[in-house]
C-alpha cells in the first residue's frame, strides 16, 4: 500500500461520524439502497441499518460491493429491532416523511446522535417508523412534483447534517474508537487478507506505522503452523 493510499484512508477515518446513521425501512430497490449508502459514505457515516427481507438483502449484497467496502450495512429483518438498538444508544430518530406536522428538515439539530429513517418510494415509511420517530421532517417543494426519489432526499438531508456538524467542529477530530479505527484501516487497506482471516476465523495481524502488516513472514508462518491467534467468532461486523 502506497503512502498516499494509507494517508487517504486515514483522512477518511479521521472524519467518520459514529453517531450519525441511516435506517432504511424496506427500501428494496438495489439502485436506491446503493445510492443511499454512497451518500452516507460522502458525509462520513460509518454504518447503515437496512431493514430488508433475506432475499432482497442478499441481492443487494451481490450488487453493491463497491459501497459496502466503505460503509458497513447492518441487516435487520424487522424495523423494531433497529429502532430499539438506536434508542438504547440515545439516538434521536428523525423520519423523512411528509406527515401532518412534519417540520422543515433544516430545523433539526443534527449535531445530536441522529438516525435518519427512510421508507420506500411508493409506500413511504411504515406506520411503525412514523410512530417510532421523534420527529418527521420534509423537504419544502415549490414545483409541480410532490416528492423526491428517496436517495435524492437522503442526500439533501444528510448534506444539512454535514453542514451543521462541520460548523460544530465534529469533523475536526477523530471520533471513532481506536479499536474500530484500526479494524477499518486493516479491512480497507488489506481486503484480500481480511477475507482470508474471515474465512478461517483468524484475528487480523497488526499493522506497522506505514499501514503494512507487521512482520508478514512471521505471521504467515504462524498461519501455516496453525498457531496464528484465532477469534471466538468469525463475525467481524
Domains of the chain, with CATH numbers? Answer: 1-15+176-237 (no CATH), 17-167 (3.40.1280.10)
Question: Residue 55: its pLDDT value, please?
Answer: 67
- Quick one: which of 42, 26, 237 has its CA closest to 123? 26
- Quick one: which of 142, 73, 153 has its CA closest to 120? 153
**Cell numbers standing for residue 233:** 467468532
Question: Residue 233: its pLDDT value, please?
Answer: 57
Q: Could you say which residues of the chain have pLDDT below 70? A: 54-67, 233-237
* Residue 170: how many other CB atoms lie within 10 Å: 19
Contact 129, 25 (CB under 8 A): yes
Segment 1-28, tens digit of pLDDT: 788 999 999 999 999 999 999 999 999 8
d(CA 230, CA 223): 10
Question: Residue 236: its pLDDT value, please?
Answer: 45
Question: Residue 138: its pLDDT value, please?
Answer: 94
Amino acid at each position: 500500500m502506497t503512502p498516499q493510499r494509507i494517508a487517504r484512508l486515514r483522512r477518511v477515518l479521521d472524519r467518520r461520524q459514529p453517531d450519525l446513521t441511516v435506517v432504511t425501512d424496506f427500501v428494496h430497490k438495489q439502485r436506491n439502497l446503493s445510492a443511499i449508502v454512497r451518500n452516507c459514505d460522502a458525509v462520513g457515516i460509518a454504518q447503515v441499518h437496512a431493514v430488508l427481507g433475506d432475499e432482497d438483502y442478499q441481492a443487494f449484497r451481490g450488487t453493491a460491493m463497491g459501497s459496502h467496502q466503505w460503509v458497513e450495512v447492518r441487516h435487520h429483518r424487522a424495523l423494531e429491532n433497529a429502532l430499539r438498538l438506536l434508542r438504547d444508544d440515545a439516538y434521536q430518530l428523525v423520519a423523512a416523511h411528509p406527515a401532518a406536522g412534519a417540520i422543515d428538515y433544516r430545523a433539526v439539530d443534527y449535531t445530536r446522535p441522529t438516525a435518519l429513517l427512510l421508507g420506500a418510494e411508493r409506500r413511504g415509511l411504515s406506520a411503525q417508523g412514523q410512530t417510532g420517530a421523534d420527529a418527521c421532517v420534509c423537504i419544502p417543494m415549490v414545483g409541480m412534483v410532490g416528492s423526491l426519489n428517496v436517495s435524492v432526499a437522503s442526500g439533501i438531508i444528510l448534506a444539512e447534517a454535514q453542514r451543521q456538524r462541520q460548523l460544530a467542529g465534529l469533523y475536526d477530530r477523530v471520533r471513532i474508537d481506536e479499536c474500530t479505527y484500526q479494524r477499518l484501516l486493516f479491512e480497507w487497506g488489506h481486503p484480500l487478507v481480511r477475507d482470508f482471516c474471515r474465512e478461517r476465523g483468524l484475528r487480523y495481524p497488526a499493522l506497522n506505522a506505514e499501514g503494512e502488516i507487521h512482520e508478514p513472514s512471521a505471521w504467515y508462518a504462524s498461519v501455516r503452523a496453525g498457531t496464528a491467534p484465532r477469534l471466538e467468532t468469525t463475525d467481524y461486523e
